[in-house]
Structure 1
Amino acid sequence: MQRQNETAPSTNIRTLESVALSATSSAAVASHGWVGRHDKKAADAAATEAMRRVLADAPGRGTVVIGEGEKDEAPMLFNGETVGNGQGVEFDIAVDPLEGTSFCAKNLPGSMATISFAESGTMWSPGPGFYMDKIVVPPQAKGLVDLADAPERTLGKVAKALGKQVGELRVVIMDKPRHQDLIKRVLKAGAAVHAPAEGDVGGSLEVLLPTGPADLLLGIGGTPEGVMTAAAVRALGGDMLGRLAPQRNEEAEAIRAAGMDLERIYTCDELVGGGALFAATGVTGGALLSEPRDSDGAILTESLLISSGEVRRVSHTTFGSMPRMTP
């Protein structure tokens, strides 16, 4: 059922659902061969190339508005790259072929292949900005939060909207040195903190999904992950705010040189302004999605598809066997 105040994707965008699922499933299977091998760049490269092959045959013409990899010199689908067979709709793409590269490399739960599609010209491009400060909240707290607020005030607003005490809240904040003070303040206010080592798309899904265990996400993560998250937020009627948060002087200088305002707060509708969909497929398993597995000559994957106000859990079968890496 579509949620109130939600903008539904156009019919054209919905025709890309099968492409999104095929892209993430292929990337998940390709990277799964690198699970536990402590080579996150090789895993990311395998996911990226598998996803690129699927997108090359997508109906229409897609533009990668924001890709993953440039900020850490990893393999990537690069910004401005065009994909598709040129026959059909035009669309924008935000992509992270392997979110949680370290989880994959170390065989820890939580890594997944992710992608978002949106109507052409509606995805925000951060230019040289690789990191952003974010707040993600569920539909009940929509329109109530502000990045300019102190975290204690944000906790109070969200708790009230959810009919909870602050001490009942569970907040997702990535376990990074830059978040030490934020985590201390949230804990001192009485809320519980879930602090994954990486993976703020997964953390945002924990907030947005109706059965998710978290109440809000705070902190600085990647801009690719932010734009992909905005597509899911928009589809599910939640709320999100973002602001560029450069982590190096060179990044800040490049943002200013591009004429962008480091103080500007972007709304969810500014990050993704049209109909959108989001897809993710599990790589190493975990609470959200199971990992790919062999079954009687076929590979089974589990995906989430978020589109038109719905969350669907999709099983995908590919005939063949899982890739095996040999020395």
Structure 2
Amino acid sequence: MKMLREITLDLVRVTEAAALVSSMYLGRGDKEAVDRAAVDAMRGMLDYISMKATVVIGEGEKDEAPMLYIGEKVGTWEPASPEYDIAVDPVDGTRLVAFGLPNAISVLAAAEKGAIMYLPTFYSWKLAVGPELAGKLDINVSIAENLKKASEVLGVKISEITVVVLNRDRHRTIIEEIREAGARIKLISDGDVAAAIATAIPGSGVDIYMGIGGSPEAILSAAALRCLGGEIQTKLWPYNEEEKEEVISAGYDLGKVYKTEDLVGGEDIVFVATGITTGDFLGGVKYFKNKVITESIAMRVKSRTVRKIVAYHDVEHKNVPLRSRGGDVRFIELQR
């Protein structure tokens, strides 16, 4: 049976396509156009991948999204093709692209059938760290205790530790507790997948990511951190009483901590991402005369090999598959 390793580069082409097309809307202030373009290109490229894949984390339920909805079958579905589950986010940070801000990426994770968990709440409480802190912190203890422990493990002062938090009103208490403990804070407007991954990238300047963010992003972060030896701890965070009642009625325990392996299990896991705007660990899409330059990352759990791929796309010859057009479209025509 074909392993994910054999189609890893093909999966990179999927995130490249989404990044290329969505980058044309950089700074135009239109989040919907950014997302629509990325979804169209990602879905179009997936038609070319030799696999039987089911979207388990995507753009929403079937009646909410025309493409990349949960349960959609993608790939060629040839008889001999391997079967996988995939989690996608065509643009993690649509607002970042729309307003020309850093850290927007296009991401995809693939794993063996049944290995990717579905979290029932829209939001989750998350704590992500790199390899040095994996298994050392606890989402259930105070922020001060975790920062003290991180200081001891890393051998640095708390004042040298950098924590990334989404800049949201719901995080006021968290931000105050981090400040009181004496750690540095990097506030971000969006893009928490990139932030969580950055904790495991040497030289990123990020030590810990914490706070309440999207549950699908927790799954994608878990896939990447499995490949990097990092860790994410997650707890369900219902955003209102109605969702809380639904989740409890469905048998979920709001006090349960879901760890990295709970979110994405198995050993045949691949994570790929392409930068759209320059961020902590990936460069964004760059235009230079008749070339477009993309920077991507590809990694696997089995080998923990991390590859950075810089691609130079010739605008005159580049084709991008768009699902809405039923096939390849010349990139130069999309720019007109």
Normalising by structure 2, report the TM-score.
0.88
Partners in 2 of 1:198 and 1:168 — Cα distance?
24
Change (3 A) 1:91 1:180: same
Partners in 2 of 1:224 and 1:322 — Cα distance?
33
Q: Is 2:154 aligned against 1:162?
A: yes
Residue 309 of structure 2: which of 294, 310, 314 is its match?
A: 314
One-letter amino acid of the structure 2 residue matched with residue 279 of structure 1: V
Residue 225 of structure 1: which of 200, 217, 231 is its match?
A: 217
Residue 44 of structure 1: which of 35, 51, 70 is its match?
A: 35
User: Equivalent residue for 1:122?
Assistant: 115
CA offset at residue 317 of structure 1?
A: 3.3
Runs of 4+ in 1 over 6 A off after TM superposition: none
Residue 82 of structure 1: which of 61, 69, 73 is its match?
A: 73
Q: Provide the alpha-carbon RMSD of the alignment.
A: 2.0
User: Equivalent residue for 2:136?
Assistant: 144
Q: Is 2:93 aligned against 1:100?
A: yes
> Contact 2:60–2:70 at 8 Å: present in 1 too?
no
One-letter amino acid of the structure 2 residue matched with residue 110 of structure 1: N
> Contact 1:124–1:271 at 8 Å: present in 2 too?
yes
User: Equivalent residue for 2:193?
Assistant: 201
Partners in 1 of 2:102 and 2:94 — Cα distance?
11
CA offset at residue 92 of structure 1?
A: 1.3
Equivalent runs, 1:7-22 vs 2, <5 Å: 12-22=3-13
Partners in 2 of 1:74 and 1:157 — Cα distance?
43
Partners in 2 of 1:233 and 1:99 — Cα distance?
16
User: Equivalent residue for 1:281?
Assistant: 274
CA offset at residue 254 of structure 1?
A: 2.9
CA offset at residue 322 of structure 1?
A: 5.6
Partners in 2 of 1:144 and 1:76 — Cα distance?
40
Normalising by structure 1, report the TM-score.
0.90
> Contact 1:172–1:217 at 8 Å: present in 2 too?
yes
Q: SS at 1:16's partner residue?
A: helix
Partners in 1 of 2:59 and 2:240 — Cα distance?
18
> Contact 2:201–2:281 at 8 Å: present in 1 too?
no
Q: SS at 1:195's partner residue?
A: strand
Partners in 2 of 1:68 and 1:50 — Cα distance?
14
Percent identical pairs in the alignment equals 37
Q: SS at 1:155's partner residue?
A: helix
Gaps spanning 5+ residues in structure 2: where? 316-330
When structure 1 is superposed on structure 2, of 217-226 and 305-314 the one drifting more is: 305-314
One-letter amino acid of the structure 1 residue matched with residue 309 of structure 2: V
One-letter amino acid of the structure 2 residue matched with residue 44 of structure 1: D
Q: For residues 60-107 of structure 1, what are the alpha-carbon distances to aligned partners after superposition, in whole Å with 9 as ceiling and x for unaligned?
A: 21111111456xx77762111111111311111111100111111111
Partners in 2 of 1:130 and 1:181 — Cα distance?
21
Partners in 2 of 1:68 and 1:196 — Cα distance?
22
Partners in 2 of 1:67 and 1:251 — Cα distance?
20
User: Equivalent residue for 1:24?
Assistant: 15
Q: SS at 1:46's partner residue?
A: helix
Gaps spanning 5+ residues in structure 1: where? 1-9
> Contact 1:41–1:75 at 8 Å: present in 2 too?
no
> Contact 1:69–1:76 at 8 Å: present in 2 too?
no
Partners in 2 of 1:249 and 1:76 — Cα distance?
30
Partners in 2 of 1:133 and 1:283 — Cα distance?
26
Q: For residues 216-247 of structure 1, what are the alpha-carbon distances to aligned partners after superposition, in whole Å with 9 as ceiling and x for unaligned?
A: 11111111111111111111111111111122
User: Equivalent residue for 2:125?
Assistant: 133
User: Equivalent residue for 2:46?
Assistant: 55
Residue 256 of structure 2: which of 241, 264, 270 is its match?
A: 264
